[in-house]
Structure 1
Amino acid sequence: MTGSGSERLAPAEKNMQELQTNSPQAPEDCQLPKLSLIYKRHPTYGVDLYISGKEGAADLELLHSNGITTVINCAVNLDFNYVRQPQVVSDHQGSVYGPGEIRYYKIGLIDGAGNPETQMVAAHYILRAALEQVLPDKPSYPRRERGNVLINCRGGRSRSVAVVALFLHLTLPDEFATLDAAIAHVRKHRELPENEWFKAPKPVLADAARRAADWICMVDSVARPS
């Protein structure tokens, strides 16, 4: 007679199963708010800046209720479909396209090493473009609203924190004279617990933001009319 599933396991398999069951689990990250207001009424752009993870960015009702019209996705390994009235692409079975309910930009950072040196620079300029673009008054540009902005990544802990901190440091230097001051502000308003600060943001991303700040200042000094 055959035994139960656990009885049929070979000794090595049973030992591995017991080891996995009894091994201490790494502590889970603290649950963060679904949506966090990071900076209210930016004096240059007149909008509120928010951070979230994937859950907040996916909640259209939550975005609309907070006046968010633009989402900037920092994560390469996360996508959203904001198209509610899709049109099927004839040469791609099952693919859809169309205007989304939210204006959507993607930066596509890795949460760690592997990003090109200039990608954090690009992240800053994409965020600024989202705030500064003037869209034409045409039917093919239906999302012309200028509302609040959400910057997200998968968890709202690292990539989005680095990008927003860099933006605050460079656009509000009197208030955030250093990148570290801006990171501290974002951590506080994102309610990141202190025991996560070593990875929120990841050190490699914070270092990339520091280098990007120098390059952006150089670019802006050349681009700015005298």
Structure 2
Amino acid sequence: MTSEKIKKRYPRPPISLIESNIPGWEVDIYIGGSKGVADAELLEKHNIKVVLNCAINLDINLVHFEEANTPEHLLRHGSGRVRYFKIGLIDGAGNPEAMILAGYHLMRSALDQELPEKASYKVREKGNILVNCRGGRSRSVTIVALFLHLEYPDRYPTLETAIAHIREKRELHPDEWFETPKPALIQLAERAAEMEKTLRQAGFGRTP
């Protein structure tokens, strides 16, 4: 069965709650696809204040507070309803292994970041985080699984246990598990986990 047939046969919500009130940050983690991240009302309903887009082939115009007096030749720019981060991953082979590790650190840093009290920083509330890609099935699953495994090893002792948890919460059917996430991304995530643990043992990074 092709990927498109699987998607039609096993539809899923635009966004899915993966973890609630995570220790250390006390926010919820969601995973979603392009329709979920583009739904401003849905983001507001779930108090999502941080968006991490993992897809290199998906761009989203989240500008809400547009810069005044923007020249006509410039694209729309300004501030959004959320704090927006992006790491452009390919859905499959072709990513440098460091990009997956960078995705973990970007997700964690997005949660840690403290914004100053300035008018130009319009969204300072912590709120919840949505990690998205085009379908919310592979790239976003990879990054969140790596985050859960590295941050909460007692609960997710392996990357696979984190992926299994996400598959259930994201309502990914067993017929699509062969590509949710893509095997190439799982391999890179396993390597990224090893790299992070080695850095921690050497005294760099964070030890849970």
**What does residue range 86-101 of structure 1 map to in structure 2 within 5 Å?**
86-87=66-67, 89-90=70-71, 93-101=73-81
1:193 to 1:167, Cα distance in 2 relative to 1, 3 A? same
**Residue deviations 1:83-109 (CA, integer Å, cap 9, x gap):** 12323643x714121111111000110
Partner of 1:218: 198
State the aligned residue count: 202
Partner of 1:50: 30
Partner of 1:158: 138
**RMSD between aligned residues:** 1.9
Amino acid corresponding to residue 178 of structure 1 in structure 2 = T
After TM superposition, give the deviation of residue 70 of structure 1 in Å.
Answer: 0.6
CA distance in 1, matches of 2:57, 2:176: 21
CA distance in 2, matches of 1:216, 1:188: 26
* Identity within the alignment, %: 48
- SS state at 1:111 partner: coil
Larger relative contact order (CA 8 Å, sep ≥ 6) = 2
- Deviant stretches of 4+, over 6 Å: none
Q: Which has the larger radius of gyration?
A: 1
Structure 2 stretches lacking a partner, 5+ long: none
1:70 to 1:161, Cα distance in 2 relative to 1, 3 A? same
Partner of 1:189: 169
TM-score, structure 1 as length reference: 0.84
**What does residue range 62-141 of structure 1 map to in structure 2 within 5 Å?**
62-87=42-67, 89-90=70-71, 93-141=73-121
Amino acid corresponding to residue 86 of structure 1 in structure 2 = E
CA distance in 2, matches of 1:180, 1:225: 22
CA distance in 2, matches of 1:122, 1:161: 15
Q: Does 1:27 align with 2:10?
A: no
- SS state at 2:57 partner: coil
1:93 to 1:224, Cα distance in 2 relative to 1, 3 A? closer
CA distance in 2, matches of 1:41, 1:111: 29
1:112 to 1:225, Cα distance in 2 relative to 1, 3 A? closer
After TM superposition, give the deviation of residue 82 of structure 1 in Å.
Answer: 1.2
After TM superposition, give the deviation of residue 223 of structure 1 in Å.
Answer: 2.2
- SS state at 1:118 partner: helix
Amino acid corresponding to residue 204 of structure 2 in structure 1 = A
After TM superposition, give the deviation of residue 43 of structure 1 in Å.
Answer: 1.1
Structure 1 stretches lacking a partner, 5+ long: 1-23
**Residue deviations 1:32-76 (CA, integer Å, cap 9, x gap):** 111100011101211100000000000010011011111000000
Partner of 1:174: 154
**Residue deviations 1:123-177 (CA, integer Å, cap 9, x gap):** 0000001000111111121211100000000000000011100000000000000
TM-score, structure 2 as length reference: 0.92
1:133 to 1:89, Cα distance in 2 relative to 1, 3 A? same
**Residue deviations 1:183-215 (CA, integer Å, cap 9, x gap):** 000000000000000000000001100000011
1:218 to 1:25, Cα distance in 2 relative to 1, 3 A? closer
Amino acid corresponding to residue 105 of structure 2 in structure 1 = Y
1:186 to 1:26, Cα distance in 2 relative to 1, 3 A? closer
